[in-house]
Amino acid sequence: MNNERPPRRPVDNDDNTNQDTRKSGEPLLRIQSLCKSFGDTRAVDGVDLSLPRGSVFGLLGPNGAGKTTIVRMLATLLRPDSGRITVGGHDTATEPEAVRRSIGLSGQFASVDEKLTGAENLYLVGRLYGMSRRTARSRAAEMLGRFRLTEAADRRAQHYSGGMRRRLDLAGALLARPELVVLDEPTTGLDPRSRMDTWEIIGELVAEGATVLLTTQYLEEADRLAGRIAVLSAGRIVERGTPDQLKARTGGQRLDVTVPSEELEVTAGILGALAQSTPAVDPVNRRVEVAVPHGRSAMTEALRRFAEAGIEPLDMALRRATLDDVFLALTEEPSPEPDRAGELTP
Amino acid sequence: MTTLLRVGRDAHIIAWRNLLNLRRTPGTLLTSTAQPIMFVLLLAYVFGGSLGGDAYREFLMGGIFAQTMAFNAAFTTIGFANDLQRGFVDRLRALPMSRVAVIIGRTTSDLSASMVSLVVTSLCGLAVGWRIRGSALDAVLAYLLILLFAFAMSWVGAWIGLIAPSVEVAMSAGLIWLFPVTFISSGFVSVSAMPSGLSAIAEWNPITAVAGATRTLFGNPTPANLPQPVGWPAEHAALYTVLCSVAIIAVFLPLAAARYRRVATR
């Protein structure tokens, strides 16, 4: 975001350059052994993260995994029980003010004021970031344009759609050109169209080189936006890597077979024996799915056994594991239920 | 000095936002306007008849002014509880702004609600026979004194709003404490008729002082059939009102500010 700002004075520019070189080797965000309990519940249980400048990091986890708790501690809204968070070298515990200046927060709990218009909401945020009246006003107008809200600028936020509201909130988070953008579940509760819009905007942000920490429960979202992902389950990071690494690490490939209803059971038996794991059966779509380590040979072998058993698959496909598969494998409860088959298929 | 400037600047911005909200939800002012009307009419005609008629109604107004201002503390309480519930406070807490400014912004913008109440109360008073009989300067002083007290009470309201766990609790908790506080005073009756323990409390109750000071400044005498007020607070009512207001702010400003810092951790 910073590089789009025209240098005001040569002196300023030099300062910025020096600062950037000095800090470039150091991660912008560093979280070390972070813990937070509420009563007996360990909401965040020893989380380590570091986020280099210009990267997009996805924190992926189901509801209650501790994502929002981490964000709240990062945004200085909540004090950690132990551990340390630094943003641009500033510690949230000792320099909360500097941290607040460095981050732009948008998401679940950072709400817009319903009674104010879009323009007024952004003006308010700009002024509270310390901008002059004029700067706040022009910056608000600029952001409204960028987030396609210019026409709605003078309407009260209470009349905005969910997607517009989210865009307004996002605009507020980016208004002061923060070093670190924190997006807490940016598309939760949005309809598909608004979700696409929001993704597009975050995509632009990423293309411009912003540093973003994104939390989400949607795998597709993390896959699409984040360069690196950590999977959070019950307050702990259970896996991390690029989306591709994660997919490769768990499950490898999936064999997906559709058969007539009456042959579902036999098919499941054959595939189970073949892959040495429990296949997922989706009776509605008459589909059986199983994780296989070596896709091609598994496919050939399956076809041979189907022919032996006299089964003629209606459809048969080999696909790479999606993040959904990874996610479910990683966050699954210790006691596996054969019935969760239906949930597996999107 | 720069810190002070910044607090003032941020508070001003917050007050601007609160006033916009107020203007766009006029319903929230309903309590502040309906309540004084109700109290004036109830007390003037239900109690007034047996307590001295016209003379009592004139005496009563000092008490009503004090009570109305005290009740506006609930306005601050509910305003804060709403902002907390809607997540607006969280948004502010994540911004690099002065924290105490959020509360100052609220207490100053809520003064506008008090001004509305004050106008309505005065008009009601005029309708039931109350008159300003002192000088214009004294009348201005009386109104300023009333507003100072309203501002002080607003800090108590802010603190309650910040400790209340929900809007529902804030609504009842924000009001309930005001009944004993306003009624154990010389606002509507003479203190000397109360049992001794209670009369001592009432004598030193700031409400008594506000009521007494405005009566003096507006030139509204205590009716002949009621015992005349005595004691240090009654004899220095205006001074005592100022002292109480300052003391209330001195206690509740730090309390509210400390609470604000912790509030989002719940």
* Contact (CB<8Å) A100/B95: yes
Q: What is the pLDDT at residue B264? A: 57
Q: What is the pLDDT at residue A221? A: 86
Pairing of strands A211-216, A56-60: parallel
- pLDDT per residue over B76-133, tens digit each? 999 999 998 888 888 888 899 988 999 999 999 999 889 988 999 999 999 988 999 9
* Domain locations along chain A: 26-241, 249-344
How far apart CA A222 and CA A219 sit, in angstroms, is 5
Mutate to test the interface with A, among B22, B84, B95, B104 (most CBs of A within 10 A): B95
Q: Is B3 on the interface with A (CB under 8 A)?
A: no
3-state secondary structure chain A: CHHHCCCCCHHHHHHHHHHHHHHCCCCCEEEEEEEEEECCEEEEEEEEEEECCCCEEEEECCCCCCHHHHHHHHCCCCCCCEEEEEECCEECCCCHHHHHHHEEEEECCCCCCCCCEHHHHHHHHHHHCCCCHHHHHHHHHHHHHHCCCHHHCCCEHHHCCHHHHHHHHHHHHHCCCCCEEEEECCCCCCCHHHHHHHHHHHHHHHHCCCEEEEEECCHHHHHHHCCEEEEEECCEEEEEECHHHHHHHCCCEEEEEECCHHHHHHHHHHHHHHHCCCCEEECCCCEEEEEECCHHHHHHHHHHHHHHHCCCCCEEEEEECCHHHHHHHHHCCCCCCHHHHHHHCC
> Quick one: pLDDT band at residue A95, thresholds 50, 70, 90?
very high
Q: What is the pLDDT at residue B207? A: 92
Asked if pLDDT for residue A3 goes beyond 50, the answer is: no
B88 forms bridges with which residues in the sheet? none
How far apart CA B178 and CA B67 sit, in angstroms, is 8
Q: Is A156 on the interface with B (CB under 8 A)?
A: yes
Give the single-character DSSP code of B186: T
Query: Which helix (H) or strand (E) element contains residue B209?
Result: helix B206-218
Q: How many CB atoms lie within 10 A of CB B192?
A: 16
What are the chain A neighbours of B264 within 8 Å (beta carbons)?
Answer: 72, 77-78
* Contact (CB<8Å) A128/B92: yes
The total number of residues written for chain B in this structure: 266
Give the residue among B2, B90, B262, B96 at the shortest CA–CA distance from A90: B96
How far apart CA B44 and CA B121 sit, in angstroms, is 12
What are the chain A neighbours of B91 within 8 Å (beta carbons)?
Answer: 105, 109-111, 172
Q: Is A97 on the interface with B (CB under 8 A)?
A: yes
> Quick one: pLDDT band at residue B137, thresholds 50, 70, 90?
very high
Asked if pLDDT for residue B198 goes beyond 70, the answer is: yes
Q: How many CB atoms lie within 10 A of CB A187?
A: 26
**The residue type at A76:** T
Which pair of structure tokens corresponds to residue A144? 């409204």
What are the chain B neighbours of A72 within 8 Å (beta carbons)?
Answer: 264
Give the residue among A182, A209, A175, A241 at the shortest CA–CA distance from A53: A209
Q: Is B180 on the interface with A (CB under 8 A)?
A: no
Average pLDDT for A38-66: 91
Burial of residue B201 (CB within 10 Å: 0-12, 13-18, 19+) is middle
Angle of helix A133-146 versus helix A162-174 axis, rounded to 10: 130
How far apart CA A329 and CA A308 sit, in angstroms, is 32
Q: Is B24 on the interface with A (CB under 8 A)?
A: yes
CA A289 to chain centre: 27
- pLDDT per residue over A222-273, tens digit each? 888 899 999 998 899 988 988 888 777 665 678 888 988 888 888 888 888 8
- Given a contact cutoff of 8 angstroms between Cβ atoms, the answer to whether B128 and B55 are in contact is no
Placement of tokens 């214009």 in the chain: B136
Q: Is B265 helix (H, G, I), strand (E, B) or coil?
A: helix
CA-CA-CA-CA torsion for B25, B31, B34, B39, nearest 10 degrees? Answer: -170
- pLDDT per residue over A135-154, tens digit each? 999 999 999 998 889 999 99
How far apart CA B164 and CA B263 sit, in angstroms, is 10
Q: Which residues contact B24 (CB under 8 A, 6 or more apart)?
A: A115, A156
Q: What is the pLDDT at residue A340? A: 38
* Domain locations along chain B: 2-265
Placement of tokens 């496909």 in the chain: A317
Angle of helix B100-127 versus helix B2-24 axis, rounded to 10: 50
To the nearest whole angstrom, how far is the Cα of A147 from the nearest Cα of chain B? 20
How far apart CA A313 and CA A267 sit, in angstroms, is 9
Q: Is A128 on the interface with B (CB under 8 A)?
A: yes
Higher pLDDT, A153 or B222: A153
Q: Is B5 on the interface with A (CB under 8 A)?
A: no
- Given a contact cutoff of 8 angstroms between Cβ atoms, the answer to whether B32 and B116 are in contact is yes
- Quick one: closest CA in B to A80, which residue? B265
Mutate to test the interface with A, among B91, B97, B98 (most CBs of A within 10 A): B91
Q: Is B266 on the interface with A (CB under 8 A)?
A: no
The total number of residues written for chain A in this structure: 346
Q: How many CB atoms lie within 10 A of CB A115?
A: 18
How far apart CA A284 and CA A294 sit, in angstroms, is 27
Conformation bin of residue A170: beta by default, left when phi > 0, alpha when psi is -120 to 50: alpha
To the nearest whole angstrom, how far is the Cα of A207 from the nearest Cα of chain B? 26
Q: Is B224 on the interface with A (CB under 8 A)?
A: no
Higher pLDDT, B153 or A111: B153
Q: What percent of chain A has pLDDT over 70?
A: 85
What are the chain B neighbours of A109 within 8 Å (beta carbons)?
Answer: 87, 90-91
Burial of residue B265 (CB within 10 Å: 0-12, 13-18, 19+) is exposed
Average pLDDT for A298-326: 82
Q: What is the pLDDT at residue A37? A: 93
Q: What is the pLDDT at residue B46? A: 85
Q: Is A137 on the interface with B (CB under 8 A)?
A: no
- pLDDT per residue over B32-57, tens digit each? 788 889 988 888 888 887 777 888 88
- Given a contact cutoff of 8 angstroms between Cβ atoms, the answer to whether A221 and A322 are in contact is no
Sign, CA torsion A68/A70/A74/A80: positive
* Contact (CB<8Å) B88/A113: yes
How far apart CA A124 and CA A116 sit, in angstroms, is 9
Give the residue among B255, B239, B257, B19 at the shortest CA–CA distance from B149: B239
> Quick one: pLDDT band at residue B3, thresholds 50, 70, 90?
confident
Distances (CA, A) of A176 to A146, A165, A170, A326: 14, 18, 11, 37
How far apart CA A53 and CA A178 sit, in angstroms, is 12
B154 forms bridges with which residues in the sheet? none
- Given a contact cutoff of 8 angstroms between Cβ atoms, the answer to whether B89 and B83 are in contact is yes
Asked if pLDDT for residue B23 goes beyond 50, the answer is: yes
* Phi, psi for residue B258 in degrees, rounded to 5: -65, -40
- pLDDT per residue over A22-51, tens digit each? 445 689 999 999 999 998 889 999 999 999
Which pair of structure tokens corresponds to residue B163? 């400790």
Asked if pLDDT for residue A160 goes beyond 80, the answer is: yes
Q: Answer whether CATH 3.40.50.2300 is correct for domain A249-344.
A: no
CATH superfamily, domain at A26-241: P-loop containing nucleotide triphosphate hydrolases (3.40.50.300)
Distances (CA, A) of B138 to A101, A198, B65, B238, B240: 49, 61, 15, 11, 17
Burial of residue B23 (CB within 10 Å: 0-12, 13-18, 19+) is exposed
Nearest to B87 among A100, A103, A109 (CB): A109
